Structure 1
């Protein structure tokens, strides 16, 4: 999911996704798809930049260039993350939506299950330059394994640990933490004089879900079995969730007020020097938009229990990012595929990922020296060696809602001074599994 995907998704009921009739989808016409409107396209873009207006400023010149090349005018709407999933689900049920849209890559399997999106089989991949152009790690978050993807990667992202160099120096900390024990120790040194050690976004459903998933993985747990059934009470899951909640509850290196954050408040706290560390997806451009200079912060891999990121229990990020999809009943199928080809071209991949601080999903574009900054080298290495996709199961959207909500409740309990124990975590996770 996007670097901007920090606000609550809204109530998402899994049955909403699964009940959609195959073939029903968005588009600019009520026909069953084709090329009835060959000169226009509608495009829902996700909010990647500092604001909706920032995205419009970045995207409009590119859409004008596409119109100049093809004669196809693109009507742009930048949709906030707080609305995007519900807007998409409404479009899949009503048949009234855009021709092309961005989706958080974690939603790929859920939206694939609606039957509303165009499958990118070999024929459709060939029309946009071929499947082999894309990073394999990014393709891993485009839908259920064994089925043609219904979206293709656009921007690739991963989590990193960002730290305030001045606050670290003032606290006598010489290097970023590599293990969670070190992070907690450093966080306690930083929690003084009105500063906190770590900023978190405790009321953000996506943020909570991402961290719950990765922390559970590091404890050997998983939220689904091989058949896609929820296993929220499996060994390791509660231990991972508790470790994250303990940043507020037991370790007290994150402020209780962070439990109410859901609108990038943690970014502002970090950028202003109120917090010494933050776990964020490709955060550099975002911090700079809030007045922080690149030399003010350092970047390191997200810690793991052993201090050596890798696979298995050493994963330290989900494979984050944005995919681009076409509604099956678009009124301009040929134009929609041309637009996807344009947005995933080397030139556009380099330009837009440079604007957003993300990594191109296209192999040749990602090799450009412009994407070899210290931050992006860490992001690229994380994506390639120590990240894992969120569960590519039809109920993934519902999983995000119930698990993100469970952590929101647990963090609120911690902020209120109520004890958070393994038993209380297991109880809340059992309730979440019942909701599934």
Structure 2
């Protein structure tokens, strides 16, 4: 694991916040008695729909405990910076959702309550949660910084009608995906094989990790960053080539920073396929596309797999829930965590958001046993790997993710994006990472 001091990480956080214009923002103070403040991640197609799902459940919690929950739904694009602002200032919400890949980085800030044995017992114990999901809750050998809330994995969504109309089956290899994408692309009619969320640094970092692993690379080796290794360069180029060389992605999608226009491309028929996490189901259905109109398969792997490559087509994705150390009501905050991770609430919330339960309870509900759900469950169990659980992981996501977004933007505007350009951008991210040490 990379060694990083809390002081160094806070310095990095302050630099990120300054770049985002958030360093001087007013932080929320500790909640008053009998009120908990909860920052929920934006899981639904819109924050309004998140509130529509969560508010009745939080009202149910209030009836049981007497604790009111002030809810704020924070978009993913803002959530990490908002949490870092809380870590720097010492003030923030009582309870917060976090991307599970951020667990070790936020753990290093000491802003999150450690889930030691007693604290875990207060929310049901470690055996209450799936082992795969618990693997992404903090650095190995330390008490978890959070517990799982929603489980996810990446898959390939495809429009059945468009593929059938072209005489195609779902691609079984990466090479078939590219070839099929070319057959499905008709730029003059505004139709493409794929759409991407090109301006999202989190998406960029996820695919850099996934495709890098397929080429035998890891962003950290013995705790040291290796962002510009040959395997990482090849993995990022595999992704950027979809725009730069293969031209099967709508150039306008490199500007998408959220899932909303990305899903709209798919449901309108402008994109025949998308690589998305399991919660895209709810957005696809909300846009009027019926489950029988689309299918989901694992993202296909290169064939043959590059030398040293691993059969990885997703990271262990999902959302965790944490308690901030500055909470004014630690017991009440833990009771909210226990409530949201209870079996009844896991059924309600994961069904609504199209995610997967993260506890060991019986989930025979048909909603979790559809063909799509079975695909995602298989990927999560068999062909996914956790993002590096090291304190530097959030910096990796920011630096490499922004590098990938910049490369896609260059490709979308017609710029040259090949081996040299990818290597240069990743080397720049590597230098920035080393400068934070």
Global fold match (TM > 0.5): yes
**Quick one: distance in 1 between partners of 2:366 and 2:286?**
23
The equivalent position to 1:393 in structure 2, one of 390, 395, 412, is: 390
Alignment deviations for residues 320-376 of structure 1 (CA, whole Å, 9 cap, x no partner): 111000011311111111111100000000000000010001121545443101111
> SS at 1:236's partner residue?
helix
**Quick one: distance in 2 between partners of 1:164 and 1:217?**
28
- In the alignment, is residue 337 of structure 1 matched against residue 334 of structure 2? yes
Q: How does 1:37-436 map to 2 (within 5 A)?
A: 39-173=34-168, 175-192=169-186, 193-226=189-222, 228-264=223-259, 265-282=261-278, 283-306=280-303, 313-436=310-433
Q: Compute the TM-score of the two structures, normalised by the length of structure 1.
A: 0.90
Contact 1:27 1:95 in 2 (8 A): no
**Quick one: distance in 1 between partners of 2:333 and 2:362?**
22
Q: How far is the alpha carbon of 1:38 from its aligned partner?
A: 5.2
Aligned-residue CA RMSD (Å)? 2.0
Q: How far is the alpha carbon of 1:312 from its aligned partner?
A: 6.2
Contact 2:155 2:297 in 1 (8 A): yes
**Quick one: distance in 2 between partners of 1:284 and 1:78?**
20
Contact 2:175 2:303 in 1 (8 A): no
**Quick one: distance in 1 between partners of 2:234 and 2:277?**
24
What is residue 29 of structure 1 aligned with on the other side?
30
Alignment deviations for residues 21-66 of structure 1 (CA, whole Å, 9 cap, x no partner): xxxxx98539xxxxxx552211111111121111111101101111
Q: How far is the alpha carbon of 1:116 from its aligned partner?
A: 1.1
What is residue 21 of structure 2 aligned with on the other side?
none
The 1:260/1:14 distance shift into structure 2, 3 A limit, reads farther
> SS at 1:240's partner residue?
helix
**Quick one: distance in 1 between partners of 2:252 and 2:65?**
50
Alignment deviations for residues 222-262 of structure 1 (CA, whole Å, 9 cap, x no partner): 11112x21101223111111111000111111122222121
Most deviating of 377-386 and 250-259: 250-259
> SS at 1:115's partner residue?
coil
Most deviating of 255-264 and 49-58: 255-264
Per residue, is there more helix in 1 or in 2?
Answer: 2
The 1:150/1:39 distance shift into structure 2, 3 A limit, reads same
> SS at 1:360's partner residue?
coil
Q: How far is the alpha carbon of 1:14 from its aligned partner?
A: 6.9
**Quick one: distance in 2 between partners of 1:18 and 1:80?**
20
**Quick one: distance in 1 between partners of 2:184 and 2:284?**
19
The 1:29/1:204 distance shift into structure 2, 3 A limit, reads closer
Contact 1:103 1:322 in 2 (8 A): yes
The 1:38/1:306 distance shift into structure 2, 3 A limit, reads farther
Alignment deviations for residues 268-310 of structure 1 (CA, whole Å, 9 cap, x no partner): 10111001000000121111112212111111011111389xx
**Quick one: distance in 2 between partners of 1:124 and 1:177?**
46
Aligned residue-pair number: 409
Q: Compute the TM-score of the two structures, normalised by the length of structure 2.
A: 0.90
Q: How far is the alpha carbon of 1:263 from its aligned partner?
A: 2.7
> SS at 1:313's partner residue?
coil
Query: Unmatched 5+ residue regions in structure 2?
Result: 1-8, 16-26
Contact 1:268 1:290 in 2 (8 A): yes
Contact 1:161 1:280 in 2 (8 A): yes
